[in-house]
Structure 1
Amino acid sequence: MKILVADDSRVMRQIVIRTLRQAGRGGHDIVEAQDGQEALDLVRSEAPDLVLSDWNMPEMNGIDVLTSLRASGSQVAFGFVTSEGSEEMRARAAQAGAAFLIAKPFTPEAFGEALAGIGL
């Protein structure tokens, strides 16, 4: 499986990748994006099976990436890993087509549950 991790913080991308390993999801191909536009471009060129995206990023935020992907017909599994975890944001994410929203700080168990919930 190929996973795209999109976050403007290199440290946070590494934490997400480490947490995936701790959740038993190691050994996958990982692609990293440092902003929303790069994430959108990499989904198109790399065809990941899953996108894990921050909400607030430069160039294009995560919700705009998701909206653009869905508008182009992409049904790639998409989840948010973000510091924003309000009910309003969860509703916006779900309405746009996100499979889940994991709020920071997060645990390997939260990743495991979210990924199991979408069959990954």
Structure 2
Amino acid sequence: MRKVVAGALDVCCVLVFVAIGRSSHDEAASVTGFLNTAWPFLAGLAAGWAVLRAWRRRPDAVVPVGIGVWLSTVAVGMVLRVVSGQGIAFTFVLVALVFLGLVLLGWRGVARGAVALRGDKPERV
């Protein structure tokens, strides 16, 4: 169950990033536009999970899964945007790095802190 929740939280983080970005640029609220913006980052997220085999580790751990998933989401997402003709700007890369870093690592840090406060031992895989 922990793996499903971790994956769902990661997807939600990417979708929130896309929603905020599209809203801040007054882009139309069409589903196709949203999906067109989201798919490169969701593919980057999936690539990170696959390369790290996150489901076989502790997917809620900041290191190495959180950092690897974060960097993969941004790097692969940006490459796919360029390849698909969507383009990128330096400031967009910085915003993506910061925002996705905060949310993808942030929820993991909060989860670890909550486990520590409860006195539970982290699940070993």
TM-score over 0.5 (shorter chain): no
> Which is strand-richer, 1 or 2?
1
| TM-score, L = length of structure 2 | 0.27
> Which is helix-richer, 1 or 2?
2
Bigger Rg over Cα:
2
| TM-score, L = length of structure 1 | 0.28
